[in-house]
Amino acid sequence: MPLTDIKIKKAGAKEKAYKLSDGKGLYLEIRPNGSKYWRYKYRFVGKEKLLALGVYPETSLAEARGRLLRARKLLENGIDPSQDKKKKKALAKENAENTFEVIAREWYDNRKSRWRKRYAEEIITRLEKDIFPEIGSFPILEIEPPLLLQVIRKIENRGAHELAKRQLQKCGEIFRYAIAIGKAQRDPSQDIKEALKPVKKEHFAALDVGELPEFIAALERNDARLYQSTRNALKLIMLTFVRTSELINARWEEINFDKKEWIIPTERMKMGREHIVPLSRQAIEVLENQKILAGHWPLVFPSSVKPRNSISNNTILGALKRLGYQGRMTGHGIRALAMSGIKQELGYRHEVVDRQLAHVPRNKIDKAYDRALFLNERKVMMQEWADYLDEVANSGVTISGDFVNRKKA
């Protein structure tokens, strides 16, 4: 006779365990301590087996019967319910262990030796900030395109469109790594690329060569009352046209006053290669002045508030704003100005200027040619650029034509 809830509740403990049958192999085992366990007795391939279906009252009579129906359905399809339960339990355990964050950190540990230290730190920091809090605890197998898109759109909604694109690319690399090691079956990042907002290419504000006299005059007059250290930073970036990050994080140990060279180490270069910056006589003068201002601090441009830290990019942008060049010039724009000025006014070849800007060669032939570094030619070029800036400052006009030949005349 089938069980009822009333009968189950009234069933008390006895000296020995006993059973209350519900039919079709389902029964309730009542132990001497009063605990009540649902069991299903069945035969598979001629062998008697037992399947645990839960504990009463956490698993009600109706729930136990539902589990019985599912087990009998498996038997009809030739599947052993006990083995199926073990497989599902193992899969659940594997999924819990193979979360997105676990796989992502494994991928990171596998890749980081190939990256520059600063780049590696940036990757893991961004994942920890933007991705792990959202889907880090999810089994990687369960992450579908809509969930991933929701995460990436949160980054987009901050206005960080380029970062959103890069984070999606990194997530794609993690999913493809998971596929390779048998932890995932597909890469959902491929399905949402078209759902992202297009990224507009950023163009940095830069002056035209013809505006150089006005800018240099404003810097020399210093009506903006900039600190001498800040003026030195602007002058040095004009004379060397390094990236702003390379300038503000410069250290005295990188400067060789005897050789008149600034060697920026691999870990500080965007393209991951050591870069030699020939220093003109004027650049050396700026650095000697800055050495007095910086004192014993290892940074060339220490912060006036926290001298163990460098000045920030905002220091450069703020100085340009106070000089009246907000929206007209940026630190990066100085690089563009130098490139056009050296090519147009001094007549140097593109590849020589490009190498001084530390751009990576496009192919193997260029790389082989690049190994010579054009160093001797760049030394001459950097001095002539500094001399050119001096003449512009003194004359107040740009000097058009072949400056190199004009000087020799």
Q: Do residues 173 and 273 both lie within one domain?
A: no
Q: Do residues 17 and 121 both lie within one domain?
A: no
Confidence of residue 316 (pLDDT cuts 50, 70, 90): confident
**pLDDT of residue 401 exceeding 70:** no
Q: Do residues 265 and 368 both lie within one domain?
A: yes
Catalytic-role residue among 332, 348, 355, 378: 332
Percent of the chain with pLDDT over 70: 89
Domain count, the chain: 3
Angstrom distance (rounded) from CA 342 to CA 237: 15
pLDDT of residue 14: 93
Arithmetic mean of pLDDT, 233-245 = 89
By the 10 Å C-beta count (0-12 exposed, 13-18 middle, 19+ buried), 129 is classed as exposed
Q: Do residues 315 and 400 both lie within one domain?
A: yes
Catalytic-role residue among 105, 165, 176, 270: 270
Contacts of 252 (CB under 8 A, 6+ apart): 291, 294, 298, 299, 300
CATH of the domain at 49: 3.30.160.390
Q: Do residues 84 and 109 both lie within one domain?
A: no
The residue range of the domain holding 131 is 100-195
pLDDT of residue 168: 93
Respond yes or no on whether the N-terminal peptide bond of residue 57 is cis (omega within 30° of 0). yes
Contacts 24+ apart (CB under 8 A), 188-193: 188/143, 188/144, 188/145, 188/147, 188/148, 189/148, 191/145, 192/145, 192/148, 192/149, 192/152, 192/168, 193/168
In a domain, 395, yes or no: yes
Q: Do residues 241 and 366 both lie within one domain?
A: yes
In a domain, 386, yes or no: yes
Arithmetic mean of pLDDT, 296-319 = 90
Q: Do residues 394 and 290 both lie within one domain?
A: yes
Q: Do residues 334 and 242 both lie within one domain?
A: yes
- Could you read off the pLDDT of 365-393 as tens digits, one per residue? 444 445 446 888 888 888 998 898 888 87
Active site residue 369: yes
Q: Do residues 185 and 262 both lie within one domain?
A: no
- Could you read off the pLDDT of 341-370 as tens digits, one per residue? 787 777 887 777 878 777 765 554 444 445
Catalytic-role residue among 183, 275, 335, 355: 335
The overall average pLDDT reported for the chain is 85
In a domain, 201, yes or no: no
**pLDDT of residue 292 exceeding 70:** yes
Active site residue 296: no
Confidence of residue 262 (pLDDT cuts 50, 70, 90): very high
Q: Do residues 140 and 170 both lie within one domain?
A: yes
**pLDDT of residue 398 exceeding 60:** no
46-50, 152-156, 172-176, 396-400: which has the minimum mean pLDDT? Answer: 396-400
Active site residue 359: yes
pLDDT of residue 361: 57
- What are the φ and ψ backbone dihedral angles of 141, each rounded to 5 degrees? -65, -25
pLDDT of residue 342: 82
Active site residue 176: no
Catalytic-role residue among 67, 243, 275, 378: 243
Arithmetic mean of pLDDT, 37-44 = 94
Angstrom distance (rounded) from CA 61 to CA 126: 50
Contact 218, 323 (CB under 8 A): yes
Q: Tell me, yes or no, if the pTM score tops 0.75.
A: no
Angstrom distance (rounded) from CA 95 to CA 185: 13
